[in-house]
Amino acid sequence: MNKFNDFDDFVTAITTLENVVLFFTASWCEPCKVMYPIVENLASNLSMCHFFKIDVDVEETEQIVEHFDVSSMPTFFFIKNNDIKNTLIGVNKEQFSEYLKVLLNNAPEKKYENNLEVTENNLEVTEKQSDFNVLDNKSK
């Protein structure tokens, strides 16, 4: 999972990457500890999505936390092409899975069929790239 070194890194990532999930967390947050291995697994297995962990109790991320006005942990932002598509506060694996599917199924340059299965302790991920027509995609 990626981290930002400063606000400029954040701006660059948000404005240049297509599919981004921001994971706002804190060292003292027990629900965050539940979601961390799930998000870490997804970050390792979903190459078409960029996951960023933002520690709210670290000085380097203070400006990012203020920018999003985050006050509850965990908080997730699902961002496509610099546009926030969904926000999730707290631990809701089913909703997290749905928001991630929405984010990835709307990829303009590739169409992905994503299967995210919610289990008690994790989200299982399988990824299969479907065929797509580049010409059809450019005409949209």
The residues assigned a catalytic role are 29, 32
The rounded distance, in Å, linking the Cα atoms of 90 and 20 is: 18
Say if 1 falls within a structural domain.
no
Dump the DSSP string for 33-59.
HHHHHHHHHHHHH-TTSEEEEEETTSG
Instruction: Evaluate whether residue 40 is within a structural domain.
Output: yes
Domain that residue 75 falls in? 7-138
pTM check: above 0.85: no
Looking at the 3D structure of the chain, how many domains does it have?
1
**Is 37's pLDDT higher than 50?**
yes
CATH number of the CATH domain containing 80:
3.40.30.10
Chain segment 41-97, per-residue pLDDT in tens? 999 998 899 999 999 988 888 999 999 999 999 999 999 999 999 999 999 999 999
